[in-house]
Structures are given as structure tokens and as C-alpha cells.
Amino acid sequence: MHILVINPGSTSTKIAVFNREKQIIDETIRHSSDELLEFNTIPDQKDFRFETIVKVINEKGLEIEDIDAVAARGGIIKPIESGTYEINDAMVEDLRSSRAALHASCLAGLIGYELKQKYNIPAYIVDPVVVDELQDIARLTGVPEVDRISIFHALNQKAIARECASDMNIAYEDGNFVVAHMGGGISVAAHAKGRVVDVNNAISGEGPFSPERCGTLTALAVADLICNKGYTEQDIKNLTSKKGGMVAYLGINDMRECEKMIADGNEKAKLVFDAMAYQVAKEIGAMATVLSGELDAIILTGGLAFSKDFTEAIMQRIEFIGTVKLYPGEFEVQALAASVLGVLNKEIEPKIY
């Protein structure tokens, strides 16, 4: 029973194949900036990424026809509760919308649907980025026409929080955690008794800046960029999704390159590095207040958590709050496969979008 896992990122496509619980393929397909710049929108990348996935699977000795189900990372669709959903026409329509163009995760569902249509393979998403469990008090902005919304790395945040809770011999639903997912984008969330009650909108320029995204900007600063400095709506979207943060300051989106620049004596790179760590720590402090300081652990996860210097810079500022746990990388692939295997084994009833 083969399950194909598809997890696109902004500059990579992670795929895996599981034979039931056993992972038999684990591959990260890297995409250069030049390759991706050929496409006007993220959904336009579907065919390109689809072809690279098929090529890698064939190189590993499998055929697409060998796949029994697809487990796709969820994209930007309507806000929904946590769970596993079968990819259907309504979901695909939303994945092709202008909102979906903001995030690479939408590609997983589109590719999964393509496999479903062409090869009759059932396809599902699990804990998409739009999982919404915000408490009402967290939604208000001070402007009645604008609410804060929940868009974050829900899949990895949930999986890592459950893993940490298990390691601490407590149930996820009984614990309180602050989780910082740090990758191309950065989301910091307050998990209270199994629900993410507050989180920065990591895709719309809220919270810390990241390797590819700007952080929180004042409304007047954005107005000035548009009215006085010639920025278009698309320019602003680019700052919030792929051309802000480290890219805007240094022209790179790779932490390893930034650390090499610092080692070579680049003072600007050091300032950007320190500022990003500073902003992550500050956001963690804010989420600790959401939990009234009653938390079982602060969890640092995502690709940036592999950087010892970066995590240490954060930990120096937050260790007074509580216990800090490191879970570098992501558990997203395992979480996706396990959920879809549960569907195939009839242990999980998929939800309808």
C-alpha cells in the first residue's frame, strides 16, 4: 500500500513514498530562483512541479500506477477545522483563486487532484495552513472591517506539538505550548489544550520577518510605499511572500549563506541575522502572554532550527519564560502519511470540504 506525500515549499518540493508505515522514498527537489521566476503565479508552477515529481518517482523504481493514495499538504482555502479532507472540485476551485497565489502549499492539492483525475488515485489534504482555532479576542484589530485571520504552518505546528507532548508524557490536549516554526516563513503560535488560539499571520506580513517575508509593518509605512514610493499591489504582495526579509536586505534566502557571510565579516548580514532572531524571540514572548505564562514548553522547529547560532540567539532571550525544546526540521511528511494511512485503514473518516 503506497502513499505518495507531496509537500511543496517556496523553493522546493518535498516528496516521500510510504509502504504503509515504512518510508521508502524521501526526496527534496530543489528549485532555483531562475526556474521559478518563469512563472507569474504559484499555481502556474503546477505542471512544472508535477513533472519533476513523476520523474523522481520513476528514477526511484516506481510507477505512478503503483501509488494507492496521495497525501498532500493543504493550501490556502476557506478556514476549516483541523483534520483530513478529500480533495474535491470545490477545494480545487479555491486552490486556483487569487488568494492561493500567495503560498506554495496550494500546489500540493492541485497536483494531488491531477493525479486523482489522470490515474484515479484518491487524494487528501491534512491540516492545511488555514486551520482556524483562534479565540474571538484574538481576531479584533481595531478596525471593524479587518479581522486578524489564522494562516500558519498548521501541519508541522500540530505534529511537532503532539510529538513534544508525547515526549513529555502528557496529552497534547492537556498541555500549553508556544511553537515557533521557522523556515522560509515564520509562524509563532499559542497552543492551549489542543487548540491554536492565537498565531501571527505568517503569509500577510505579520510577526517576525523571515528569510523571504517581511514582518509587521505599520499601516502608514505601507501607505507611504504605495502612495509616495511607487509600489504596486503586486510589489506589496511580493514583500509579504517572497521578496521581503533576508532577501530584501541581503539578496539571499538561505540561512547557511547568511552564516557564511557573517563568518567572512559581513556586518550587515550579522545585523539581519540578529534582528530576525530578536523578532522571533519577541513574538514568542507575546504568545507566552496569551497563555498567561502557563506553558509546558516553548518549541523551536522548522529548517532554521538547524542553525545552532540562530536558536541560541533566540534562547538567550526566552529561557526565562520556560522550558525550550528543539525539534529541527519538520514532521510534516510523517503526519501526512499517517493521517492518510488512517483513512485507508478506515480508522479516520475523511471530512468533506
What are the sequence ranges of the domains in the chain? 2-130+332-344, 136-322
Max alpha carbon distance in the chain (Å)? 59
* Residue 162: all three cell numbers together: 503532539
CATH number of 136-322, picked from 3.30.540.10, 3.30.420.40, 3.30.70.260, 1.10.10.60:
3.30.420.40
- According to CATH, the superfamily of the domain at 2-130+332-344 is ATPase, nucleotide binding domain (3.30.420.40)
CA distance 17 to 66: 10
- Is-same-fold flag (2-130+332-344; 136-322)? yes
Tens of pLDDT along the chain (353 residues)?
A: 899 999 888 778 999 999 999 999 999 988 877 788 788 888 889 999 999 999 999 999 999 999 999 999 888 899 998 899 999 999 999 988 756 556 788 899 999 999 999 999 999 999 998 999 999 999 999 999 999 999 999 999 999 999 999 999 999 999 999 999 999 999 999 999 999 999 999 888 899 999 999 999 999 999 999 999 999 999 999 999 889 999 999 999 999 999 999 999 999 999 999 999 999 999 999 999 999 999 999 999 999 999 999 999 999 999 999 999 999 998 888 999 999 999 999 999 999 99
Which strand (E) or helix (H) includes residue 85? strand 84-86
- Taking phi over 0 as left and psi of -120 to 50 as alpha, with beta for the rest, 149 belongs to beta
Output the CA–CA distances (angstroms, integers) from residue 85 to 55, 67, 140, 142, in the order listed.
27, 18, 29, 34
CA distance 42 to 151: 17
CA-based end-to-end distance of the chain: 25
Task: State the angle between helix axes of 332-344 and 154-167 in degrees (0 to 180), rounded to the nearest 10.
Answer: 90
